């Protein structure tokens, strides 16, 4: 599980061009959007593609992403439960 | 009563050291190449990292250039009533990447960022977003008269007092596929040309480049004022034999004659196929007029004429014509009225008239 | 200086017809142009619905006497619509007064660029399309075809509000006396680029788009070209011209909220509509019909609906989106809907907002769902785009 979380952090930094951040600076529980990491709705779309491409999980409705991408914890849990 | 229109400040990102407004082409950067890239500013000084992470190069260049212009005019961002941008191709680097992604990945796993950056109006839109400017926001994309279309729009609004301060700019990027394909069709010179030798290169094509030049236009002068925009006109086509009479007509429409022009700034790019338009003017009716050129410094791109506009403004404010841009040896008695003339491959030609303040 | 900005000609080609008459016939008979995609080879063909122009490229080439593969589809449909507008305005010599062309496009020659992107490196067969990627090249081809020389010609690209902004600039140039006549509008052909681009934003519907409906699933992309001929008072008097309608007001603003989405409360849309009413010298209650942007995306329709409520209060006039007929034709949309607005004024007709069943839960706002006869003096048309661009144009019967 923690390997997956580390992998997710690395991917988020790369995919969303957050080069100024290190994996240590992203906590497992802090919100990724809004107040926390400050991601926005375009980032959410980027993450949806990442779920599809790297974990084979397809989301049809972008609204579904909101709960899944709340934090690294929620993302990792969702991927564990749904990956193909 | 129409209001007068002033250029109050400038910002330029180019292959020369132009972003620092305290100097004016003191040191020329010489190149020997067929394409030129801009000297990248330290973007961190202009753009917070969180905002910069998705920005295409064109947006970064434009932001640095626009912010430089605004700070020179000492105008609050909230005082800007409108943003108008000219760009031949927009952020074409991201367009190319998105097309590649579509083809290479068979339309799978595409992400939105590149598509969003591809929209021509993304520069004007993101500058507005960054400044919170809810006013008029236009983007003109008409090849080599994109910047002049933007100037015309701004001029109309300022004259009618529909706006007081308008940020106007021209921006284009030089990127791989665009460059490669334009080499195929001979629009880029085949052999490198030294900066000092552009006009004597005697070859087809131009030295391609990129840049972002932004200006604050207002209907009142600020302390930093550069010039007054008197008139401008664009033409989709002009036959070579018509250029002289259209130039004379343009001047007479503004109650001027050739002897009133203290300096003509021309867009010669060293292409033997099309520089004839410039030669027609410089060798004939403007033979006795001091002449300047700039594309050996800026390179050629759809909005390169915005660099020419920058140059003319700098000349009027500094009251000196840098040696590097002089095209003939005639020295002006005064530097009050400048005529700019530009065309690219014989199309989208423009005249712009500036007066010192 | 010209007091009025008269519309003397209209021309259009879209998924619901190859000319003005066919488009109008479709609008009043409820004939829609949305279908599965047939003309572009795409892996998404079973997931999306679009509004395609029926004619294939070879048909368009023959119509215009062009060699095969000479032009991108975008200028070809643009030329067809512009020519119809000019003929409709009964112009025999385009250069008999100061005439300009202002055209909107987002894709330009993208259809050919994406087709030959790698081929350009292999052989020289398609190098004629290399310069076609520049949006201005599309307008240049239209200008050359209609015979404009030594003229003011420009291109506007403000995403889905491009043609509306072309109309706006044209009207301002007629009013200021810089042009006597100007052809304004926009053109966008279908491309893989836009299909896939909108797919990444997850706002395309896999079924018929349903503007302003609670259960709307997104937009259908469309392709179209539409142009108007605008003329000054001087030319109307000189040529004793029949006037179809007037451009009465216009307003442009920026939402300055998000790169692609509209603000929650429709701030930019409100500003654009208010500016247009101000230029027209009209109060909101003088608007008889609103041709809404109504793309059927969750975001646009909520934002636009709220903006309508903010501008018109409790008295929102009849409104409908015609995008259920045509799809969202991007840069051309403002031109398409300008032509429809002129036809609405001429025929005193309000078009139905198709596929609407359930009002949105956020407010009590229902579009007109029936074809309705109503005496119309003014029509307000909205066009909004990426980059926060919001535009409104008001058309009227009287100057």
Secondary structure string (H, E, C) spanning B251-267: HHHCCCCHHHCCEEEEC
**């009465």: which residue's tokens?**
C248
Look at A62 and C260 and tell me if their CB atoms are within 8 Å: no
Residues of B in contact with C114 (CB under 8 A): 99, 102-103
Inspect the interface and report whether the beta carbons of C140 and B141 lie closer than 8 Å.
no
Q: Which of A33, A42, A64 is the best residue to mutate to test the C interface, defined by the most C CB atoms within 10 Å of its own CB?
A: A42
Q: Which of B53, B54, B111 is nearest residue A49 as measured by Cβ atoms?
A: B111
Instruction: Supply the DSSP string of C106-159, one letter for each residue.
Output: SSTTHHHHHHHTTHHHH-STTGGGGGGGSHHHHHHHHHHHHT--S-EEEEE--G
Residues of B in contact with C266 (CB under 8 A): none
Which positions in chain A have a beta carbon within 8 angstroms of at least one beta carbon in chain B? 15-20, 38, 42, 45-46, 49, 52-53
List chain A residues with CB under 8 Å of B54. Answer: 17, 42
Assess B103–C contact: CB distance below 8 Å, yes or no: yes
For chain C, which chains pass the contact test of at least 3 CB pairs under 8 Å? A, B
Distance (Å, whole) CA A43 – CA B112 = 9
Between chains, do A45 and B54 touch, taking CB under 8 Å as contact? no
Residues of chain B scoring pLDDT < 50: none
Nearest CA in chain B to A57: B109
Contact residues on chain C for B85, CB-CB shorter than 8 A: none
How far is Cα of residue C339 from the mean position of the Cα atoms in its chain?
A: 8
Q: In this complex, is the C-beta atom of C260 within 8 Å of any C-beta atom belonging to chain A?
A: yes
The reply to whether B246 touches chain C by the CB within 8 Å rule is yes
Q: With beta carbons under 8 A apart, name residues in chain B contacting C42.
A: 107
Q: Does A19 contact B113 at a Cβ distance shorter than 8 Å?
A: no
Interface of A with C in 11-70 (CB under 8 A): 40-42, 45, 48-49, 61-62
Report the residue of chain A nearest C202, measured CA to CA.
Answer: A62
CATH 3.40.47.10 is the classification of domain B6-218: yes
B112 CB neighbours in chain A (<8 A) are 42, 45-46
The answer to whether the beta carbons of residues A24 and A10 sit under 8 Å apart is: no
Q: What is the pLDDT of residue A2?
A: 86
CA distance B56 to A80: 35
CA-nearest residue of chain B to C135? B141
Question: Per the CB < 8 Å rule, is C149 touching B140?
Answer: no
Best B44, B55, B112, B125 residue to mutate vs chain A (most A CBs within 10 Å): B112
**pLDDT value of residue B11:** 98
- 10 Å CB burial of residue C241 (0-12, 13-18, 19+) is middle
Q: Kindly report the nearest CA distance between residue B52 and chain A, in angstroms.
A: 9
pLDDT of residue C87: 98
Q: Which CATH architecture has domain C6-239?
A: 3-Layer(aba) Sandwich (3.40)
Q: Give the nearest partner residue to C201 out of A40, A45, A61, using CB atoms.
A: A45
Cβ neighbours for B245, distance < 8 A, ≥ 6 positions apart: none
Give C187's strand partners: C225
Min Cα distance A32 → chain B (Å) is 13
User: Min CA distance, C46 vs chain A (Å)?
Assistant: 15
Give the domain extent around A56: 2-20+27-82
Helix (H/G/I), strand (E/B), else coil: C188 = strand
Taken in order B80, B82, B86, B87, the sign of the CA dihedral is positive
Which one of B58, B151, B183, B236 would you mutate to disrupt binding with C, by most C Cβ within 10 Å of its Cβ? B236
Six-digit token string for C221: 């992309």
Contact A18 B110 (CB under 8 A): no
Instruction: Note whether C139 and C106 are within 8 A (CB).
Output: no
Q: Which of the following CATH numbers is that of domain B229-356: 3.90.850.10, 3.40.47.10, 3.50.50.60, 1.10.3720.10?
A: 3.40.47.10
Helices first, then strands: H and E counts in chain C: 13, 15
DSSP state at residue B302: T
For B115, nearest residue in chain A (alpha carbons): A42
Residue A35 in this model has a pLDDT that exceeds 80: no
Asked if A50 and A15 touch (Cβ cutoff 8 Å), the reply is: yes
The whole-angstrom separation of Cα C352 and Cα C319 is 9
Per-residue CA distances from A13 to A33, A43, A66, B115 (Å): 14, 11, 19, 20
Residue listed under structure tokens 């839109």: B125
Task: Looking at the complex, report in whole angstroms how far the Cα of residue C26 sits from the nearest Cα belonging to chain B.
Answer: 32
Computed over its alpha carbons, how large is the radius of gyration of chain A?
12
User: Can you give the pLDDT at residue B251?
Assistant: 98
Closest listed residue to residue C143, CA positions, set C132, C155, C131, C126: C155
- Quote the minimal CA–CA distance from A22 to chain B in Å: 14
Kindly state the percentage of chain A with pLDDT values over 70: 98
Q: How far is B142 from chain C (nearest CA, A)?
A: 4
Determine the pLDDT at residue B51. 84
What are the Cα distances from residue C27, in Å, to C55, C212, C337?
19, 18, 12
- Identify all chain A residues contacting B116, using CB atoms and an 8 Å cutoff: 42
Whole-angstrom Cα distance, residue C7 to residue C88? 10
How many C-beta atoms lie closer than 10 Å to residue C386's C-beta? Answer: 26
By the 8 A CB rule, do C159 and B74 touch?
no
Q: Give the chain A residue nearest C261 (alpha carbons).
A: A41
Q: Cβ–Cβ of C202/A41 closer than 8 Å? A: no
Under CATH, domain C249-396 is a member of which superfamily? Thiolase/Chalcone synthase (3.40.47.10)
The rounded distance, in Å, linking the Cα atoms of B154 and B170 is 13
Q: How far is it, in rounded angstroms, from Cα B247 to Cα B252?
A: 9
Distances (CA, A) of B258 to A37, B9, B238, B285, B286: 62, 28, 20, 7, 7
- C259/A42 CB distance under 8 A: yes
Q: What pLDDT was estimated at residue A1?
A: 58
| Chain A CA closest to residue B50 | A18
Which of B113, B130, B156, B142 is closest to B51 using CA atoms? B130
φ/ψ region of B296 (left if φ > 0, alpha if ψ in -120 to 50, else beta) reads: alpha
- Residue C381 CB coordination number (10 Å): 28
Give the domain CATH number at A50: 1.10.1200.10
Look at A46 and B50 and tell me if their CB atoms are within 8 Å: no
The partner residue sitting opposite C136, judged by closest CB among B88, B129, B237, is B88
Fold match between C6-239 and C249-396? yes
User: In a 3-state reduction of DSSP, which class is residue C221?
Assistant: strand
- CA nearest A37 in B: which residue? B50
Residue ranges of domains in chain C: 6-239, 249-396
Whether A42 sits inside 8 A of B54 (CB atoms) is: yes
SS (H, E, C) chain A: CHHHHHHHHHHHHHHCCCCCCCHHHCCCCCCCECCCCCECHHHHHHHHHHHHHHHCCCCCCHHHHHHHCCCHHHHHHHHHHHCC
pLDDT tier, A38 (very low <50, low <70, confident <90, very high otherwise): confident
- Residue in B closest to C330 by C-alpha: B119
C332 within 8 A of C186, measured Cβ to Cβ: yes
SS3 content of chain C, % helix, strand, coil (to 5): 40, 20, 40
Instruction: Classify residue B219 by its DSSP letter.
Output: S
Task: List CB contacts (< 8 A) between A48 and chain C.
Answer: 202
Q: Which residues of chain C have pLDDT under 70?
A: 1
Cα–Cα distance measured from residue B134 to residue C272, given in angstroms and rounded to the nearest whole number? 10
> Which residues in chain C are closer than 8 Å to B182, comparing Cβ atoms?
130
Q: Which residue has the tokens 């519907």?
A: C205
A-C C-beta contacts closer than 8 Å = 12
């Amino acid at each position: 599980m923690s390997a997956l979380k580390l992998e997710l952090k690395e991917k988020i930094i790369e995919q969303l061009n957050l080069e100024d951040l290190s994996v240590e600076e992203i906590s497992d529980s802090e919100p990724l959007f809004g107040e926390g990491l400050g991601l926005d709705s375009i980032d959410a779309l980027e993450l949806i593609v990442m779920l599809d491409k790297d974990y084979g999980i397809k989301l049809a409705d972008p609204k579904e992403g909101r709960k899944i991408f709340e934090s690294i914890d929620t993302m990792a849990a969702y991927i564990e439960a749904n990956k193909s | 009563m129409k209001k007068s229109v002033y250029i109050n400040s400038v910002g330029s990102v180019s292959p020369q050291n132009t972003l620092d407004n305290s100097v004016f082409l003191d040191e020329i950067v010489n190149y020997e190449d067929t394409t030129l890239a801009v000297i990248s500013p330290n973007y961190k000084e202009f753009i917070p990292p969180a905002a910069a992470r998705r920005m295409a190069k064109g947006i970064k260049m434009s932001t640095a250039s626009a912010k430089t212009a605004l700070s020179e005019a000492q105008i609050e961002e909230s005082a800007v009533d409108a943003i108008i941008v000219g760009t031949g191709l927009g952020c074409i680097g991201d367009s190319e990447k998105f097309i590649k992604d579509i083809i290479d990945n068979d339309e799978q796993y595409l992400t939105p960022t590149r598509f969003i950056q591809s929209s021509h109006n993304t520069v004007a839109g993101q500058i507005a977003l960054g400044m919170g400017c809810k006013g008029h926001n236009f983007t003109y994309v008409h090849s080599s008269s994109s910047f002049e279309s933007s100037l015309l729009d701004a001029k109309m609004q300022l004259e009618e007092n529909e706006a007081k301060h308008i940020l106007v700019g021209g921006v284009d990027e030089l990127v791989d596929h665009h460059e490669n394909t334009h080499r195929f069709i001979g629009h880029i010179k085949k052999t490198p040309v030294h900066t000092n030798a552009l006009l004597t290169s005697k070859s087809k094509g131009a030295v391609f480049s990129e840049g972002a030049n932004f200006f604050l236009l207002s209907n009142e002068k600020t302390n930093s004022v550069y010039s007054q925009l008197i008139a401008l006109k664009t033409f989709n086509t002009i036959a070579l034999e018509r250029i002289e009479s259209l130039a004379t007509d343009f001047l007479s429409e503004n109650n001027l004659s050739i002897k009133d022009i203290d300096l003509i700034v021309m867009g010669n790019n060293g292409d033997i196929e099309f520089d004839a338009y410039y030669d027609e003017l410089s060798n004939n009716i403007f033979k006795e007029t001091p002449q300047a050129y700039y594309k050996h410094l800026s390179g050629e791109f759809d909005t390169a004429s915005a660099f020419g506009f920058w140059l003319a403004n700098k000349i009027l404010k500094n009251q000196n014509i840098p040696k590097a841009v002089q095209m003939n040896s005639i020295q002006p008695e005064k530097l009050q009225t400048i005529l700019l003339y530009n065309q690219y491959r014989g199309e989208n030609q423009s005249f712009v008239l500036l007066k010192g303040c | 200086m010209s007091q009025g900005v008269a519309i003397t000609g209209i021309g259009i080609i879209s998924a619901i017809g190859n000319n003005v008459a066919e488009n109008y016939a479709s609008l009043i008979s409820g004939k829609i142009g949305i279908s599965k995609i047939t003309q572009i080879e795409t892996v998404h063909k079973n997931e999306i619905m679009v509004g395609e122009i029926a004619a294939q490229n070879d048909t368009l080439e023959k119509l215009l006497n062009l060699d095969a593969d000479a032009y991108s589809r975008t200028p070809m449909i643009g030329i067809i619509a512009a020519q119809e507008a000019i003929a409709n305005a009964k112009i025999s010599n385009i250069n008999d007064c100061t005439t300009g062309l202002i055209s909107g496009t987002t894709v330009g020659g993208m259809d050919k660029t994406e087709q030959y992107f790698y081929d350009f490196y292999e052989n020289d067969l398609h190098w004629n399309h290399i310069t076609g990627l520049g949006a201005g090249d599309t307008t240049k081809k239209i200008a050359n075809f209609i015979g404009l020389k030594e003229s003011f010609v420009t291109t506007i690209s403000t995403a889905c509000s491009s043609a509306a902004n072309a109309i706006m600039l044209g009207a301002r140039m007629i009013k200021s006396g810089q042009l006597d006549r100007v052809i304004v509008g926009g053109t966008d052909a279908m491309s893989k680029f836009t299909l896939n681009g909108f797919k990444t934003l997850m706002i395309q519907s896999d079924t018929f788009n349903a503007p302003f409906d609670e259960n709307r699933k997104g937009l259908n992309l469309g392709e179209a070209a539409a142009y108007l001929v605008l003329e000054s008072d001087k030319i109307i008097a000189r040529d004793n011209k029949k006037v179809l309608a007037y451009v009465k007001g216009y307003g442009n603003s920026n939402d300055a909220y998000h790169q692609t989405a509209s603000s929650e409360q429709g701030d930019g849309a409100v500003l654009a509509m208010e500016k247009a009413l101000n230029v027209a010298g009209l109060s909101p209650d003088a608007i008889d019909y609103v041709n809404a942007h109504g793309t059927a995306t969750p975001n646009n329709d909520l934002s636009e609906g709220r903006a309508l409520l903010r501008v018109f209060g409790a008295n929102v006039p009849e409104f409908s989106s015609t995008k259920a007929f045509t799809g969202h034709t991007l840069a051309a949309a403002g031109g398409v809907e300008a032509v429809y607005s002129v036809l609405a004024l001429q025929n005193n007709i309000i078009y139905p907002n198709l596929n609407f069943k359930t009002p949105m839960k956020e407010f009590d706002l229902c579009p007109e769902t029936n074809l309705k006869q109503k005496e119309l003096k003014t029509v307000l048309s909205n066009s909004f785009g990426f980059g926060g661009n919001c535009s409104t144009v008001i058309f009227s019967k009287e100057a």
